[in-house]
Amino acid sequence: MPQQPPLVALVILNWNGRHHLQQFLPSVIRSGYERLQIVVADNASSDDSLQYLQTHFPEVMLLPLSENFGFAKGYNEALKKIDADYYMLLNSDVEVTPGWLQPMVQLLEQHPNNTACQPKILAYKNKDVFEYAGAAGGWLDAYGYPFARGRVFDYCEYDKGQYDNPQQVFWASGAALLIRSADFHAAGGFDEYFFAHQEEIDLCWRLQLMGKKLYCCPQSVVYHVGGGTLPRGNSRKTFLNFRNNQIMLAKNLPWSEKWWKIPFRQMLDALSAWKGLLSGDGGYFIAIVKAHIAFARWVFFGSRQWVPVRRKPLTQLQGVLRRNLVWQHFVLAKKKFSEVVKS
């Protein structure tokens, strides 16, 4: 008998997103993958998401959660209850294309150390442009700044096929993340202290330290609205990004790096905060100040999800720029990934 393809549980974490489910869930149902279980885990929505799904999509499995746990804990709670070979974590505001899952599953099935991957993520509102949250696969610079093939800080490139080769990356986007279920749990899942933002980068860092490989598979294409819950420029989002990035560095860097890189990053954060204040964005300034205070609170009082294996110097991992991205982008005016990262 021919071997069955792996079972994939596609899990959408929903919070008051009925309009997104109505718009994008039909494309998910038409994915065309043979063994696909579609699950919507609901973070205690106050809209009529669950009633709508029960009426219009009875084939979708519903997992109501008792409260809004955020992205990290919401997925952790939901995935404890789902048995599958792979988890496909998908934002509710993503339009997928027919046959998008097969190339990613095939890529991960090539070797047991291939643990996770993402598709090429383009902007829903401008489908020729890479989307901010992941683009064609995530990288990190030597000081912890995330960027991606096709996106450096806020500059998103046009997709002209320049990143269509499957490639190992540092992190795969949580907007559309295919991951082996066993590896997700072995790494401890998402760090629930993060609540939301950069929790997938932290998870991918831990997976690399466990000897696993992460990829972008551009033969799979999806379109992401982005900012569905917290839009870019939102003070809460700014706070979470700056706080969580410092926590991620403190958790995963070896002591030989963290003792000087974290103060250096805090200095750069402070410069960014003052720049925002002088340009009239007081909310941005306050969010960064609060993020630094919250990081200090985490150092002394926060719960810790430590790395299960020995930490390595950051530049020994895949998908790491050995230079400072801030200098490359803002001083040397290198906008594109291909300009920052020379092959």
Stretch 75-79: mean pLDDT: 97
Q: Residue 233: what pLDDT?
A: 59
pLDDT tens digit sequence for 122-164:
999 999 999 999 999 999 999 999 999 999 999 999 999 999 9
User: In this predicted structure, what is the pLDDT of residue 130?
Assistant: 98
Q: Is residue 231 situated within a structural domain?
A: no
CATH label of the domain that carries residue 174: 3.90.550.10
For residue 120, being part of any structural domain is answered with yes
Q: Is pLDDT above 80 for 320?
A: yes
- Whole-number pLDDT of residue 309: 67
Nearest alpha carbon to residue 265 among 282, 281, 242, 287: 242
Q: In the chain, how many domains are there?
A: 1
Report the candidate in 90, 89, 16 with the shortest Cα–Cα distance to residue 51. Answer: 16
Q: Whole-model pTM? A: 0.94
Q: What average pLDDT does the structure give for the chain?
A: 94
Contact 76, 200 (CB under 8 A): no
The pLDDT of residue 228? 45
Phi, psi torsion values for 165, nearest 5 degrees: -90, 130
Q: With respect to residue 301, please indicate whether it lies within any of the assigned structural domains.
A: no
Whether residue 305 has pLDDT greater than 80: no
Q: What is the mean pLDDT of residues 275-297?
A: 95
> Model confidence over 89-113: pLDDT tens digits?
999 999 999 999 999 999 999 999 9
Q: How confident is the model at residue 229 (pLDDT cuts 50, 70, 90)?
A: very low
Asked if residue 15 is part of any domain, the answer here is yes
Q: Is the pLDDT of residue 84 over 60?
A: yes
User: 88 to each of 49, 91, 248, how far by Cα in Å?
Assistant: 20, 10, 23
> Does the residue 57 lie in any domain?
yes
pLDDT (mean) for 1-12? 89
Nearest to 144 by CA among 192, 188, 60, 201: 201
The yes-or-no verdict on residue 88 having pLDDT over 60 is yes
pLDDT at 302: 74
Q: Is 116 a residue whose pLDDT tops 60?
A: yes
In a domain, 172, yes or no: yes
Domain membership flag for residue 124: yes
Identify the sign of the CA torsion 195, 198, 202, 207.
positive
pLDDT of residue 287: 96
Kindly state whether residue 63 falls inside one of the protein's structural domains. yes
How sure is the predictor about 230, in pLDDT bands with cuts at 50, 70 and 90?
very low
Q: Which domain holds residue 86?
A: 8-224
